[in-house]
Amino acid sequence: MSDRVKHRQSKASALAKDGTLNPAPEKIRDQKFREDGFFDPRDIVQVKYEMLRRIFLNKMSVTEVSNEYPVSRPTPRLIVRDQLKVDPSWREPGYWHEMNSEEGG
């Protein structure tokens, strides 16, 4: 068994132990997770971070992000509300559109 395979297996074991192993890494469609390198589709924390980054920094719509990261459309909003503790005004109509257009998007 190669060192690279051993490293990937040990990382997967560590992610599983921490409860952050993505149960369906093959479903991630974002190209950077398909290329071999830094981005690991098995790391659910990294996947969620990149998903939110695509919304906030790349100005992608929640629908577009939901297509690249196999989640329901409410999932990014729930992460923002529950994990990032952002103001719950995300429920207001047009909130995400206004957020995406605030910085010239």
Integer Cα distance of 51 and 18 in angstroms: 20
Of 3, 41, 97, nearest in space to 105 by CA: 97
DSSP conformational letter for 29: -
pLDDT number for residue 104: 46
Integer Cα distance of 6 and 2 in angstroms: 6
CA 69 to chain centroid, in Å, comes to 7
pLDDT surpassing 80 at residue 74: yes
Which residues on adjacent β-strands are paired with residue 21? Answer: 43
Integer Cα distance of 60 and 37 in angstroms: 23
Integer Cα distance of 57 and 100 in angstroms: 8
Predicted confidence (pLDDT) per residue in 23-45, tens digit: 999 999 999 998 877 899 999 99
Predicted confidence (pLDDT) per residue in 49-59, tens digit: 999 899 888 88
Which two structure tokens, joined as six digits, stand for 26? 């093959």
* 4-8, 42-46, 82-86: range with highest mean pLDDT: 42-46
Residue 17: band (very low, low, confident or very high) from pLDDT cuts 50, 70, 90:
very high
This prediction has a pTM of: 0.69
